[in-house]
Amino acid sequence: MVFSSYLFLFFFLPLVILVNRFLSLKASNVFLLLASLLFYASGEGLLVLLLLVSIFWNFSFGLLIEKAAHKEKKLYCGVAIIGNLSLLAYYKYFAFLVDNSPLAKLITEQRYSDIILPIGISFFTFQGISYLVDVYRKEVPAEKSIVRLGLFISFFPQLVAGPIVKYKELAAFLSHRVTSVDKTVEGSMRFIRGLAKKVIIADTLAIVVDAIFIENLSALPTTVAWTGVLLYSLQIYYDFSGYSDMAIGLGLIFGFRIPENFNYPYISKSVREFWRRWHISLSTWFRDYVYIPLGGNRQGQSRTLFNLCVVFFLTGLWHGASWNFVLWGMLHGLFLILERLSSFEKIRLPHLLKHIYLLVVVGLSWVLFRLPSFADALVYYKSLFSFSATGDWYSYVLMTPYVWFVVLIAIIFAAPILSKIAALFSVSLRRLNYLPLLRYVGYFCLALLCMMELSMSSYSPFIYFKF
């Protein structure tokens, strides 16, 4: 079940909101946990058992870690983390590890080709690990209610594609939260924004992107190849940030405040700034649970650079069991290291040049992210810099006036245009007593447009579902 489906929008979500409205806090926690498990089971079937195993595992070890003596704390925490990572390693990386080891000759592909990657396993595994580490560090008490911890790990708005939420960010809402008409309205508008990003922008761009990246890559004219880079950069941003907006909006409706995951990353002027704005919950997780424990930047420049390499290697690997993802992560790490060594952010260059630099680096790295193999990526890079005008222009047939309009809208709203306009005319806008009504009408029309798009589109899962 995906957020952008009629089953979710017109049956599951309204029913859950309606029933939850009449429940006490304890009953609401139980109900939302069951609804979350049903939501996951509707798409993953019996793999929901893995989610239950994760809940019981982290709940049990959280209590053990809190009650144990210091030496035992380390042991229990280590065992608990290894258990989480073992689950992730088997389902996500087993085939990759076998293919890249001497075992490849001993194990037939049939023995591991049937392993199904559970949707969202990277997200709920990382949430479980962060909870255990925070209990070990005594930053949070161990949760005494398996229902509350189960809801934290499985809460359906952010279960399958984040944001990656820390227990301490939701703990207060698990014990006390308030739902209101104002929060429901605010959350609904945020959800509609996210839905529009997905079905109007990302899914429209996906048609052209798929055509470009599936074509004969060696026959792509340079213009078409760069068009593919531009459109995929926009597609993945609107697809993923759209999901995050929907998750945050749903959280508000149910009384939870889920942290932001994006802050206009494409307006960045360095790779370092980009990672402060892109997938904020993931970069924060690696900072708190990998980079800082490794020593951060406190042990000299050489160790700092090593720590950055480790973090971005793991960041790439987290995204998928493929060398392309590893190279994608290491490429970002390389440029971040070069920026650190050159004090790039302090160099006096026109902001436009720094901005172009960031867009080119990120855009070129998305090629590794989008294509299945390094060989395909090399062919695509060759097309990007061949300066050829001959080849397969078929994908441009799909660039209808409507698609061009969507591209323009996507480029404009990748920057905080509306907030700047609102700030510029803030005094005048506050005087308009009917401005709230105009907002509601605008969002209602946007929701209708989303429904029209959904009625004409086929099933289109979110890009980050596969992670």
Both 156 and 224 in a single domain?
Answer: no
φ/ψ of 220, rounded to 5, equals -80, 125
> What pLDDT, on a 0 to 100 scale, did the predictor assign at position 280?
96
Cα–chain center distance at 204: 20
Strands (E), 22-91: none
Both 159 and 235 in a single domain?
Answer: no
What would the two tokens of residue 75 be? 């042991």
Q: Which of 467, 461, 464 is nearest to 2 (CA)?
A: 461
Q: Which of 17, 360, 423, 378 is nearest to 188 (CA)?
A: 17
Greater pLDDT, 386 or 424: 386
Among 130, 155, 177, identify where a domain stops.
Answer: 177
463 occurs within a structural domain: no
| CB-based contacts of 373, cutoff 8 Å, min separation 6 | 324
Q: What gap in Å lies between CA 179 and CA 59, rounded to an integer?
A: 27
> What pLDDT, on a 0 to 100 scale, did the predictor assign at position 94?
84
Q: Which of 158-162, 275-279, 418-422, 440-444 has the highest mean pLDDT?
A: 275-279
Both 157 and 16 in a single domain?
Answer: yes
Both 393 and 353 in a single domain?
Answer: yes
Both 333 and 396 in a single domain?
Answer: yes
Both 13 and 77 in a single domain?
Answer: yes
Q: Which of 15-19, 102-106, 159-163, 292-296 has the highest mean pLDDT?
A: 15-19
Condensed to tens digits (0 to 9), the pLDDT of residues 41-57 reads 998 898 999 999 999 99
254 occurs within a structural domain: yes
466 occurs within a structural domain: no
170 occurs within a structural domain: yes
Q: Write out the DSSP string of 49-63.
A: HHHHHHHHHHHHHHH
Both 193 and 142 in a single domain?
Answer: no
Region 419-429 average pLDDT: 67
**Around Cβ 137, how many Cβ atoms within 10 Å?**
12
Condensed to tens digits (0 to 9), the pLDDT of residues 26-43 reads 999 999 999 999 999 998
CB 264 within 8 A of CB 277: yes
Among 153, 177, 201, identify where a domain stops.
Answer: 177
156 occurs within a structural domain: yes
Question: 230-239, 358-367, 394-403, 421-430: which has the minimum mean pLDDT?
Answer: 421-430
- Average pLDDT value over all residues in the chain: 89
DSSP class of residue 279 equals S
Task: Give CA separation, 205 vs 39, 90, 371, 377, in Å.
Answer: 28, 34, 17, 20
Both 13 and 113 in a single domain?
Answer: yes
467 occurs within a structural domain: no
Instruction: Reply yes or no: is the peptide bond before residue 163 cis, omega within 30 of 0.
Output: yes
> What pLDDT, on a 0 to 100 scale, did the predictor assign at position 418?
73
Q: What gap in Å lies between CA 224 and CA 235, rounded to an integer?
A: 16
Region 217-228 average pLDDT: 90
Give catalytic residue positions: 319
Tell whether the model's pLDDT for residue 341 goes beyond 70.
yes
Greater pLDDT, 448 or 397: 448
Tell whether the model's pLDDT for residue 127 goes beyond 70.
yes
Condensed to tens digits (0 to 9), the pLDDT of residues 75-84 reads 999 999 999 9
Both 256 and 361 in a single domain?
Answer: yes
Domain range holding 50? 6-177
Both 328 and 401 in a single domain?
Answer: yes
pLDDT band at 113 (very low <50, low <70, confident <90, very high): low
Both 200 and 171 in a single domain?
Answer: no
How many domains does the chain divide into? 2
Both 172 and 190 in a single domain?
Answer: no
Region 380-401 average pLDDT: 86
442 occurs within a structural domain: yes
Tell whether the model's pLDDT for residue 358 goes beyond 70.
yes
Task: Give CA separation, 393 vs 207, 208, 220, 223, in Å.
Answer: 15, 11, 7, 9
φ/ψ of 108, rounded to 5, equals -75, 150
381 occurs within a structural domain: yes
H helix count then E strand count, the chain: 23, 0
What long-range pairs does 312-316 form, CB within 8 A, spacing at least 24? 312/336, 314/286, 314/290, 315/282, 315/283, 315/286
| CB-based contacts of 119, cutoff 8 Å, min separation 6 | 40, 43, 44, 160, 465, 466
Residues of the chain above pLDDT 90, percent: 68
Among 119, 153, 177, identify where a domain stops.
Answer: 177
Region 214-236 average pLDDT: 91
